[in-house]
């Protein structure tokens, strides 16, 4: 970014220094990226000081901050989602699990960087995962409250929208790849690759997600006195019984955003300002397919690496996004779980795939792995 922007080293949770910087530099709009500061109230802090900021307040960011809260709202307002129960007592969770069909889904209530979901194939696995989350502090106690929900089958898509109160402006849908390895094997991750648009899913599924999930949720939040503003990320599953909600995030999805924003036509600053000012924003999407691949540290999501050299990276290529790299003396090193997002565009999914993977194959590092099948569902579906 340093080639096109001035990078300032202030931590995302240091609201005081951030707001001082914004005031001193007459920044007219702050766009908040990550969930942590949103859940911790950065928007409330900025608004209290008269600063314009795009993102949900803490009482609305809870849609990502607490899965139990979100499930409750969905139940109350009849928003389609998987059946569930919430537990704070391990023995009660175990007793419940013993009566459920497998596979079953266990979700840590709090923030866990996209990793707090376990799909257990059998009772042993389910009970062990519940124990780890509830009693042994896995995911930093985000799992001391546990949501156990029905396993849904179907195809996933991500519907992100700009929201202000009851106004919901959708972006083009994308498809993430949550599992670590090819063929959707391995643990859940923050996301291993994405593409947009998702042409093999019918428009009726997108319409249904808008009418039954996104708009009702925006309305529900107004009714609850928790008016939403900012990006609302809806994780959807198209099941044989219609569209069901998997989760909400209170921010842009990663890596969906890296492909969606490449397709977006319009002035992003103006779009956000218009949404905040209750004006209909002007934007559209181009005709290309964008596809990108995450290159992650070998043991991600169980661990990450720091300081392993990445060679042959065309760091300035706009198609390459730095998720977790560190730069030293002009060279790049791994610095996290998900390290690079390497994308390509094309007139169709195949061309986008070829362009992205050509770039991936040029990058060399001992520490990195990636999936080879990003976009395969679309290629089969077309």
69 token code pair = 């809260």
| Interaction between residue 178 and ligand AMP (CB under 6 A) | yes
| Interaction between residue 196 and ligand GLY (CB under 6 A) | no
Nearest residue (CB) to ligand AMP, 178 versus 226: 178
Return the residue of 37, 65, 114, 193 that touches ligand GLY, per CB under 6 A.
Answer: 114
List the strands of the sheet with 229-239, edge to edge: 167-170, 155-164, 229-239, 242-249
- Contacting range for ligand GLY; rule: CB under 6 A; set: 74-82, 222-230, 248-256, 366-374: 248-256
253 binds, among ligand AMP, ligand GLY, none (CB under 5 to 8 A by kind): ligand GLY
- In the complex, least distance from residue 115 CB atom to ligand AMP, rounded to whole angstroms: 8
Rounded Cα distance between 327 and 291, Å, is 25
- In the complex, least distance from residue 247 CB atom to ligand GLY, rounded to whole angstroms: 8
Within 42-117, residue ranges assigned H as helices are 42-48, 58-65, 67-76, 90-98
| Interaction between residue 301 and ligand AMP (CB under 6 A) | no
The CA–CA distances, whole Å, from 199 to 152, 204, 206, 211, 265 equal 22, 12, 11, 20, 19
Binding to ligand AMP by CB under 6 A, coded x per residue (else -) over 84-123, reads: ---------------------x-x------x--x-x----
281 binds, among ligand AMP, ligand GLY, none (CB under 5 to 8 A by kind): none
Rounded Cα distance between 265 and 283, Å, is 6
381: left (phi > 0), else alpha (psi -120 to 50), else beta? alpha
191 binds, among ligand AMP, ligand GLY, none (CB under 5 to 8 A by kind): ligand GLY
| Interaction between residue 156 and ligand GLY (CB under 6 A) | no
214 binds, among ligand AMP, ligand GLY, none (CB under 5 to 8 A by kind): none
Binding to ligand GLY by CB under 6 A, coded x per residue (else -) over 158-177, reads: ------------------x-
- Phi, psi dihedrals of residue 302, rounded to the nearest 5°: -75, -35
| Interaction between residue 256 and ligand AMP (CB under 6 A) | no
- In the complex, least distance from residue 292 CB atom to ligand GLY, rounded to whole angstroms: 12
- Contacting range for ligand GLY; rule: CB under 6 A; set: 117-125, 159-167, 179-187, 246-254: 246-254
Nearest to 176 by CA among 256, 249, 232, 290: 256
Nearest to 40 by CA among 7, 68, 73, 18: 18
| Interaction between residue 258 and ligand GLY (CB under 6 A) | no
328: left (phi > 0), else alpha (psi -120 to 50), else beta? beta
Nearest to 275 by CA among 15, 23, 31, 27: 31
Return the residue of 254, 259, 337, 345 that touches ligand GLY, per CB under 6 A.
Answer: 254
- Contacting range for ligand GLY; rule: CB under 6 A; set: 2-10, 12-20, 94-102, 249-257: 249-257
| CA dihedral angle for residue 196, residue 198, residue 204, residue 205, rounded to 10 degrees | -90
User: Which residue reads 């042994």 in tokens?
Assistant: 136
Q: How many Cβ atoms sit within 10 Å of the Cβ of residue 38?
A: 29
152 binds, among ligand AMP, ligand GLY, none (CB under 5 to 8 A by kind): ligand AMP
Q: Restricting to residues 193-252, name those near ligand AMP by CB under 6 A.
A: 235, 246-247
- Phi, psi dihedrals of residue 300, rounded to the nearest 5°: -60, 140
- Residues binding ligand GLY (CB under 6 A): 114, 176, 190-191, 249, 253-254, 256
């Amino acid at each position: 970014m340093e080639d096109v922007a001035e990078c300032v080293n202030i931590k995302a949770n240091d609201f005081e220094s951030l707001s001082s910087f914004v005031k001193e530099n007459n920044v007219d709009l702050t766009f908040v990226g990550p969930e942590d500061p949103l859940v911790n109230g950065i928007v409330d802090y900025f608004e209290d000081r008269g600063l314009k900021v795009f993102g949900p307040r803490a009482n609305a960011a809870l849609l990502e901050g607490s899965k139990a809260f979100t499930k409750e709202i969905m139940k109350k307002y009849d928003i389609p989602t998987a059946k569930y129960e919430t537990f704070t007592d391990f023995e009660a969770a175990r007793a419940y699990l013993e009566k459920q069909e497998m596979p079953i889904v266990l979700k840590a209530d709090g923030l866990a960087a996209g990793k707090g979901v376990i799909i257990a194939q059998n009772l042993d696995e389910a009970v062990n995962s519940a124990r780890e989350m509830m009693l042994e502090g896995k995911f930093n106690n985000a799992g001391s409250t546990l949501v156990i929900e029905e396993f849904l089958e179907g195809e996933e898509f991500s519907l992100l929208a700009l929201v202000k109160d009851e106004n919901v402006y959708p972006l083009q849908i994308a498809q993430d790849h949550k599992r670590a390895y090819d063929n959707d094997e391995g643990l859940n991750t923050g996301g291993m690759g994405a593409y947009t648009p998702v042409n093999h899913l019918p428009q009726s599924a997108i319409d249904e997600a808008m009418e039954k999930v996104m708009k009702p949720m925006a309305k529900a939040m107004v009714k609850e006195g928790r008016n939403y503003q900012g990006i609302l990320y809806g994780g959807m599953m198209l099941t044989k019984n219609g569209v069901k909600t998997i989760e909400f995030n209170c921010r842009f999805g990663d890596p969906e955003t890296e492909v969606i924003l490449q397709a977006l036509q319009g002035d992003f600053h103006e779009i956000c300002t218009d949404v905040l000012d209750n004006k209909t924003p002007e934007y559209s999407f181009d005709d290309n397919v964008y596809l990108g691949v995450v290159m992650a540290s070998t043991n991600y999501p169980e661990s990450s690496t720091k300081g392993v050299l990445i060679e042959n990276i065309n760091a300035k290529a706009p198609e390459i996004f730095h998720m977790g790299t560190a730069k030293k003396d002009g060279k790049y090193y791994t610095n996290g779980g998900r390290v690079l997002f390497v994308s390509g565009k094309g007139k169709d999914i195949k061309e986008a795939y070829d362009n992205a993977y050509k770039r991936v194959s040029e990058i060399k590092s001992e520490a990195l792995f990636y999936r080879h099948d990003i976009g395969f569902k679309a290629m089969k579906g077309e």
